[in-house]
Amino acid sequence: MSINYLAVLVATMLSFVFLALYYSSYHWIGRRWLELSGSNPSKHLLVIVPIAFFATTLMCCTFAYFMGQFHFIKDVPLKDSLLKSLMISCGYVVPILIVQNLFYFFGGRRWQLIVIDAFFYIIQFAIFAITLVLMG
């Protein structure tokens, strides 16, 4: 099974554009996340961006491999890949967020952070799916 690394790179970059828009302080989701988290990630962008880019690329490569291994809806590749993106984001990523954030929750962080981050990852994996199918 071969992975289209150009598609992975494009999907990673599109994911970063979405991340910048989603968590931007220019709209209510980004402002709410900043308010609830009490952090200012812009102070640490030189550290955050390369690590996040590497991790996102790894997630997208793994997803691309996963997409090539299982076939649920053989005649509709986009629908198939969107189903897989939903399965991975809701079946793995969101539960990990919930467990991880429980520790933060009991430390005083708000449950709304989990919801904001969960929706981000669901949409991020959909971006992976659409990009990989269209470029595949």
Measured CA to CA, the distance from residue 123 to residue 136 in angstroms comes to: 19
Measured CA to CA, the distance from residue 60 to residue 136 in angstroms comes to: 13
| pTM exceeds 0.75 for this model | yes
Domain edges within the chain: 5-135
Measured CA to CA, the distance from residue 136 to residue 132 in angstroms comes to: 6
Q: Which two tokens stand for residue 79?
A: 């629908």
Residue 114: pLDDT band (50, 70, 90) is confident
Of the candidates 52, 47, 48, the one whose C-alpha atom is nearest the C-alpha of residue 15 is 52
Tell me the pLDDT tens digit for each residue of 27-36: 899 889 888 8
Beta carbons within 10 angstroms of residue 133's beta carbon? 17
Measured CA to CA, the distance from residue 64 to residue 1 in angstroms comes to: 10
Confidence (pLDDT) at 48: 86
Measured CA to CA, the distance from residue 42 to residue 79 in angstroms comes to: 36
Tell me the pLDDT tens digit for each residue of 44-86: 888 888 999 999 999 999 998 888 765 544 445 788 889 989 9
Measured CA to CA, the distance from residue 88 to residue 67 in angstroms comes to: 11
